[in-house]
Structure 1
Amino acid sequence: MLICLLKRVGQLLGFAATAAALTMSTPVYSASDTLRVATEGTYPPWSFKDSSGNLQGFDVDIANALCAQLKMKCQIVAQAWDGIIPGLQANRYDAIVASMSTTPARRKQVLFTNKYKETTSSFIVAKDSGIKDVTPVGLKGKRIGVQRGSSQHQWLTANGYEKTATLVLYDSTRQPELDLVAGRVDAVIGNKATFYADFFKRPESKDFTFVGPEFKGGVLGEGNAIAVRLDDSDLCNRLNTALDAIIKNGTYDQIRKKYFPFPLM
């Protein structure tokens, strides 16, 4: 009888310790807290640094609007894309606001809020390239530029492009565009809205064009959302409430119109 009682006490103490550990590992946020946000930082017009080195862009404005709605201070840092999820998991920041596509693979690593914009991907080629077919067969022998670790990179691999073409990988979205203009790659693939609002606003883009259909869904994701740690459902819920509020009160649309003349969702 005494042995059973001691075992039961031990179980209860174990449950209490586990609950305490869970409570300690999951932060509870208040209005006076600072929300630490990571964005990519080299991805205009979504996030980029101005001439003074300050972070600007659609995602930066959205992050600041959400912090204002939550009445929290906002601390936004730039993080290279291939390390952005590991940085979140390592608790270097609390949320990622970086136009991240909600892919099945990423859902295993992070908890996503509701989406805050749709996304489609497209190829760009030189107008005189003769490229019309952007299937793996149509791009056989070509060099395709894409950001390393992006959903477009995953999509190219999933659809067998590396078997027929050469995938040239870059650490930012601007680098493949520069190499396309310089003739070092034959095509690039990326976010269509980004191309529209950035690449096609530059003088050097006049000899280039979209080609082929728009792509979305699957490994390209079902829109873009904010990522938090898997165990941080409290922050996810608070961000969803704040996101809903800035959409309803017109703040979201004011930010969108600053960068795009068309809806994002």
Structure 2
Amino acid sequence: MRATYEIGNGRAAAILLARHGAKVALVDINPEWAEETRRMIDEEGGISEVIQADVTIEESCKMAVKKTVELWGAVHILVNNVGVGGAIGDATVVNLGAWERDFRINVTSMVLMARYVIPEMRKGGRGSIVNLSSVSGLLGGNPSLIYPTTKGAIIQLTRTMAAQHGQENIRVNCVCPGMVYTPMVRGRGMTDEMRQARINQNLLKREGTGWDVGHAILFLSSKEASWITGLIMPVDGGTTAGKTDRPALNEDTFAASNTGVSN
């Protein structure tokens, strides 16, 4: 089994935004990863620049936003796409030092970037922030404690920020990817059997990719979504909508459901 195009969520979003005319600041702690994204954008004639920064450090976030404004004069869109799987274990065994580190990576980083981006958005009278969470923030049953906890926190962070900044014409939305196939997932050694089991969990019975997530980010960043804020959008093939282990409706059942008459 092979993905049609293995690409990460952040890279896909950056390429799609550049395709639609955005000037993209590629902020990453690893400049080599960002340079590859820049190369892909360059090939399509887009505009981007790499800015090395550690988004868990406030001064680094301040610098990244300052450089972006120096390059292009304003910031209209912020995509907070950062996260780690994090420490393993329940409350009785999880390493608390790792817990605090992972919470800072997954949640506090978004606050730090917003702290310096929102004042720039205020100057322009508009803005769109898209935070990346996960279906793990909507569902229970995850063997890890830190990962779903942080992803749930991002959902509430999004709703609160949307309420706080809506009157400033700054929209804040959240995308919750399901188990899409990305290079990071592939690197964890996922077998074909494991991939198929993941596919079987969604209603569409097909595998999602970073492009699916990227298109959701693109839409929420766009003017077409100008009346949408506080939205929590699962991009998961229907995983969070329900299960498919129920019998299909036959013609008699369908007719009865439309007429209110049962056999």
**TM-score normalized with structure 1 length:** 0.29
Greater relative contact order (Cα < 8 A, sep 6+): 1
Q: Which of the pair has more CA radius of gyration?
A: 1
Query: Which of the two has greater helix per residue?
Result: 2
More strand by share: 1
